[in-house]
Amino acid sequence: MACAQRDVPDEATIVSEVDAIVDAHAGQDGAVIPVLQSIQERLGYVPREAIKRVGERMSISYSELAGVVSFYSYFTTVPRGRHTVRVCLGTACYVRGGKEVLQKFEESLGIEVGNTTEDRLFSLEVGRCFGACGLAPVVLVDDEVHQRVSPPKVRGLLDAYRDAADAESSAEAAGTGGGSESAGGRAGGADEPKEGSA
Amino acid sequence: MVDIRINDRPMKVSSDTTILEAARQAGITIPTLCHMEQRPPLGACRVCVVEVKHAPRLMAACATPVAEGMEIFTNTKRVRDGRRSVLELLLSEHNGDCRICVRSDDCELRKIAANLDITKVRYEGELPPARYDDSTPALRRDTEKCIKCRRCITMCTDVQGVGALAPQKRGYGTEIGPAFSLDLGDVACVQCGQCAAACPVGAIIETSHVEDVWHALEDPEKHVVVQTAPAIRAALGECFGYPPGTRVTGKMVAALRGMGFDAVFDTNFAADLTILEEGHELLERLKHALVPKETVGAAAGASQEGAAGGSAQGHGAGGGFNPRGGGGPGGNGSPTGGGDGHGGGSSERDGHGGHNGDGGHGPGPLPLITSCSPGWIKHAELFFPDLLPNLSTCKSPQQMFGALAKTYYAQNAEVDPANMVVVSAMPCTAKKFEAARPEMRSSGYQDVDYVITTRELGRMITSSGLSFDELEDDTTDSPLGQSSGAADIFANTGGVMEAALRTVWEVVTGSELPGENLHFQPAQGLTGVKEAEATIAGTKPEFSFLEGVTVRIAVAHGLGNASKLLSEVRRDPSRYHFIEIMACPGGCIGGGGQPRPTTDEVREARIRGIYAEDEGKPLRKSHENPDVAKLYSDYLERPLGPRSHELLHTHYERREV
Ligand code: SF4
Ligand code: SF4
Ligand code: SF4
Ligand code: FES
Ligand code: FES
């Protein structure tokens, strides 16, 4: 799989990750955004518990931090889905209908930009120019490039990933499956439809 | 200085002036919404636009500094059209009905729209997500009315340092509120109401108790009494067009009687009482910190005033205290860890007032910090839990009053406290929160039933049909109505300190607090953190442990300032002996429930009114209040006595939200 999905970290993990990151930035002015960025990188998202912890450690209110996190589309407060869909809204893609494509994705996935579908299969994001303007509008799913995407193509594009996931999980159900789930911690990879055993 | 022209009129202004300030100096009004005095400009709302010659766009007057030769026009068609567009856009995204809006009288948005003669809105805006947030006792948020001016954020985050409200998301989706669109009750908010005082529209208001009060007044079974906070008598008049600072005490009493209250009392009475309790608490803590263990006993003979009887000593709150040498009391023993850690402490609980708080431990640590401001109390519980042992255990005057009304007064008046309703009129929204705290039921009932703000009282007087102007001055009832001038000044920053010093100084030395007309100037004024020291001389024998001691005090108002001061206390716990903190800028006269607007000019005017009230009183010191003396002799026995502890003192707890 192109993008391994991580398990949702438990609170103790979040706290220790955050503490390590905050400590690494100790004494720096304006470290808030770098700290949040590191959290996003380490955990794949910025959970609310992490925001609370950053607030305690750095004496910034929860609401202010939430404001920062919700201001930058780079941050997400929900765990990533198995696949990250990035719709380009760079100039070339925008003028060739990127916005409509994005709308169609939001509609088909039933989520807004920055969120993850309930089955945690897809996260939806926007990008600014992937350097493939000749192929506009461009959509990246993980690191696969989809070119000249138009709204009618969206459903089929998504279904291909859904089918692959279904095939995989039934294969696993048939086989022994499960192993990676109980490995705990950050066990990557396939998750059963029921998630969150961590 | 630079030369500029405004509307063709030449003027000289200093070069760090904004166009807005220059226009004001010239007597020209420019409408503003997001702008707040003494705060960096936001430039967010753009209702203040003006035309500057050669500038391609209209400029925001609040955010544009003047420059040499600048030619400014504040009243051209282009300016008017620009402002109208801004207003119409705001209105198009504002979902409110002025006919039934609590702000219809003092709404800034409505007023600017009227001034610009806007009678229709050409745009169809997208309405913000509607959420009605009634999650906290004191405040109501109505997100549909928010115009995103961010004034509440300036108050909550920059001034108060609480940060409950912040911009969330971005662009058109921006919301002003708690994290992730949560309710206020889900985040740390101290209920100070500074957001509500600053909001130009009806997006944040106090929870109304008006209907409840009318209901109680209507009920023949109920005996309804009212208390009025010190700070409202110099502000209530503003609801009826009087200038800020006008004293309307007599009219206020008359109005309350006219509204049908069975007795009209005064929180001031309880303020005097607070001084006696808290003054003695201070003396106890000083004694505990200053008198070396071995020599205690010697100083035991406390006078009737002297709460500092020789009891509390065996149990060291925080380990060694230094015998005082010469000048300052180097390290007054007990650092912040005070209240705990000496649980096993010693015994002499019922000597002469040895214990305070609920546990019967030794007196808490120094510095003693005042506790009459419930917004400050919640702030401490949230952000300075390590300093909770330093807080005075005294309840606020409002709650002392409530507890006595339903016990002492109820007995005297032969009223069943179950049928009694205690209403407070307060400058404060946090008092609504405080009255609802579960521990505030010393009488066996909720001690204070309803709290109305100054603004709510103003509306009630209006709707009762009384003509405020024409009311004859009236006076409060006995026995909870009389007060000294020291009680009045609880209304403003520095006032509790001054009131306490007037009494403590005299108790300790037998002579009056030196200082012109009993004032303690260093505590007065609007400086954020004030410090002073006073060296005590001429002590009575039982207070000889204070002879030559330099007592260091500090006063902070506004929670941002308080936090700065308290960080200093954390760093150096022995720096001060006594600290006054009020949550709101200026103290209660600048409370979250006061008439709008409250600016520094208004604060100063109200403070002048309060000091005039103080100076006009025949009695100026709390310990001279004869009704308080009677309360002690008939009922409470003595300051910090067992009954005081039961009714007048409380405890605090660490909290997350
Ligand atoms: S907030 Fe102002 S404009 Fe809005 S409904 Fe109330 S009075 Fe009208
Ligand atoms: S009441 Fe005070 S602490 Fe709470 S949101 Fe308003 S300004 Fe902030
Ligand atoms: S709640 Fe009031 S003060 Fe705060 S941004 Fe909205 S309109 Fe402005
Ligand atoms: S604008 Fe979309 S790839 Fe360049
Ligand atoms: S008052 Fe100047 S931009 Fe809001």
User: How high is the pLDDT of residue B595?
Assistant: 98
User: How high is the pLDDT of residue A115?
Assistant: 85
Lowest mean pLDDT among A123-132, B237-246, B410-419: A123-132
Query: Domain B90-206 has what CATH class?
Result: alpha beta
d(CA B398, CA B433): 12
User: How high is the pLDDT of residue A114?
Assistant: 80
Q: What is the mean pLDDT of chain B?
A: 90
User: How high is the pLDDT of residue B173?
Assistant: 84
Catalytic member of B238, B278, B456, B506: B278
- CB within 8 Å: A61 and B168: no
d(CA B640, CA B635): 13
User: How high is the pLDDT of residue A175?
Assistant: 63
User: How high is the pLDDT of residue A79?
Assistant: 86
Lowest mean pLDDT among A98-102, B38-42, B207-211: B38-42
Q: How confident is the model at residue B323 (pLDDT cuts 50, 70, 90)?
A: very low
Q: How confident is the model at residue A80 (pLDDT cuts 50, 70, 90)?
A: confident
| Distance (Å) from the alpha carbon of B181 to chain A's nearest alpha carbon | 9
- Order the strands of the B59-60 sheet from edge to edge: B9-13, B2-6, B71-73, B49-52, B59-60
| Distance (Å) from the alpha carbon of B166 to chain A's nearest alpha carbon | 5
Is B152 annotated in the active site?
Answer: no
User: How high is the pLDDT of residue A127?
Assistant: 87
Which has more confidence, A87 or B323? A87
Superfamily of domain A83-197: Glutaredoxin (3.40.30.10)
Q: Provide CB contacts within 8 A for B69, sequence distance 6+.
A: B2, B3, B4
Which one, of B173, B118, B116, lies nearest residue B146 by Cα? Answer: B173
- CB within 8 Å: B179 and A77: no
Q: What is the mean pLDDT of chain A?
A: 83
Kindly state the helix (H) or strand (E) to which residue B177 belongs, with its residue range: strand B175-177
Which one, of B589, B557, B582, lies nearest residue B491 by Cα? Answer: B589
Q: How confident is the model at residue B293 (pLDDT cuts 50, 70, 90)?
A: low
What percent of chain B lies above the pLDDT cut of 90? 86
Residue B18's DSSP bridge partners are B65
User: How high is the pLDDT of residue A23?
Assistant: 95
- CB within 8 Å: A63 and B170: no
Q: What is the pLDDT of residues A86-120, one digit of tens each?
A: 999 999 999 999 999 999 999 999 998 888 898 88
Whether residue B619 has pLDDT greater than 60? yes
Which one, of B210, B166, B171, B214, lies nearest residue B188 by Cα? Answer: B166
Query: What's at B459, amino acid-wise?
Result: R
Domain boundaries, chain B: 2-75, 90-206, 208-278+395-522+537-543+586-657
Q: What is the pLDDT of residues B361-389, one digit of tens each?
A: 578 999 999 999 999 999 999 999 999 99
Is B646 in a helix, a strand, or coil? Answer: helix
User: How high is the pLDDT of residue B294?
Assistant: 54
Q: What is the DSSP letter of A110?
A: T
- CB within 8 Å: B166 and A77: no
* Core vs surface per residue B71-99: b (16+ CB within 10 A) or e: ebbbeeeebeebbbbbbbbbbebbebeee
Average pLDDT over residues B392-417: 98
Residue B267 neighbours by CB distance under 10 Å: 29
Q: How confident is the model at residue B295 (pLDDT cuts 50, 70, 90)?
A: low
User: How high is the pLDDT of residue B632?
Assistant: 97
Is B434 annotated in the active site?
Answer: yes
- CB within 8 Å: A62 and B169: no
Residue B569 burial by Cβ neighbours in a 10 Å radius (0-12, 13-18, 19+): buried
Whether residue A178 has pLDDT greater than 80? no
Q: What is the pLDDT of residues B158-170, one digit of tens each?
A: 999 999 999 999 8
| Residue in chain A nearest B160 by alpha carbon | A61
d(CA B183, CA B206): 15
Whether residue A157 has pLDDT greater than 80? yes
User: How high is the pLDDT of residue B425?
Assistant: 98
CA of B304 to the centre of ligand 2 (A): 43
Q: What is the pLDDT of residues B627-639, one digit of tens each?
A: 999 999 999 999 9
User: How high is the pLDDT of residue A77?
Assistant: 87
User: How high is the pLDDT of residue B300?
Assistant: 38
Q: Provide CB contacts within 8 A for B239, sequence distance 6+.
A: B454, B455, B457, B458, B459, B461, B462, B468, B595
Q: Provide CB contacts within 8 A for A82, sequence distance 6+.
A: A1, A3, A5, A120, A121, A122, A165, A191
User: How high is the pLDDT of residue B68?
Assistant: 96
Residue A61's DSSP bridge partners are none
Calculate the CA A11 to chain-centre distance: 19
Average pLDDT over residues B398-404: 98
User: How high is the pLDDT of residue B361?
Assistant: 56
Which runs of E-coded beta strand occur in A30-69? none
Whether residue B228 has pLDDT greater than 50? yes
| Among candidates A61, A67, A77 on the partner chain, residue whose Cβ is nearest the Cβ of B167 | A67
What percent of chain A lies above the pLDDT cut of 70? 84
Q: How confident is the model at residue B350 (pLDDT cuts 50, 70, 90)?
A: very low
Query: What's at B468, amino acid-wise?
Result: F
CA of B111 to the centre of ligand 1 (A): 9
Which one, of B302, B303, B295, B307, lies nearest residue B354 by Cα? Answer: B307
User: How high is the pLDDT of residue B38?
Assistant: 86
Task: Please tell me the pTM assigned to this model.
Answer: 0.84
Q: What is the pLDDT of residues B454-481, one digit of tens each?
A: 999 999 999 999 999 999 999 999 999 9
Under 8 Å between Cβ of B134 and B98: no
Task: Give A77's contacts in chain B (Cβ within 8 Å).
Answer: 180
B2-6 and B71-73 as β-strands: parallel, antiparallel, unpaired? parallel
0.90 surpassed by complex ipTM: no
Catalytic member of B51, B281, B456, B624: B281
User: How high is the pLDDT of residue A36?
Assistant: 96
What percent of chain B lies above the pLDDT cut of 70? 89
DSSP letter string, A173-184: HHSS--HHHHT-
Fold of B2-75: Ubiquitin-like (UB roll) (3.10.20)
DSSP letter string, B422-440: EEEEES-SHHHHHHT-TT-
Which one, of B47, B17, B30, B55, lies nearest residue B4 by Cα? Answer: B17
Under 8 Å between Cβ of B251 and B468: yes
Under 8 Å between Cβ of B434 and B399: yes
Average pLDDT over residues B37-64: 95
| Among candidates B169, B170, B178 on the partner chain, residue whose Cβ is nearest the Cβ of A63 | B178
Under 8 Å between Cβ of A13 and A20: no
Is B392 annotated in the active site?
Answer: yes
Average pLDDT over residues B550-555: 97
Which has more confidence, B378 or A172? B378
Candidate CATH numbers 1.10.3720.10, 3.30.930.10, 3.40.50.1780, 3.40.190.10; the one for domain B208-278+395-522+537-543+586-657: 3.40.50.1780
Q: Provide CB contacts within 8 A for B188, sequence distance 6+.
A: A61, A62, B162, B163, B164, B382, B383, B656, B657
Which runs of E-coded beta strand occur in B432-572? 450-453, 529-535, 550-557
Q: Which residue has the tokens 């494509």?
A: A101
Q: What is the pLDDT of residues B557-572, one digit of tens each?
A: 999 999 999 999 999 9
Q: What is the pLDDT of residues B520-545, one digit of tens each?
A: 999 999 999 999 999 999 999 999 99
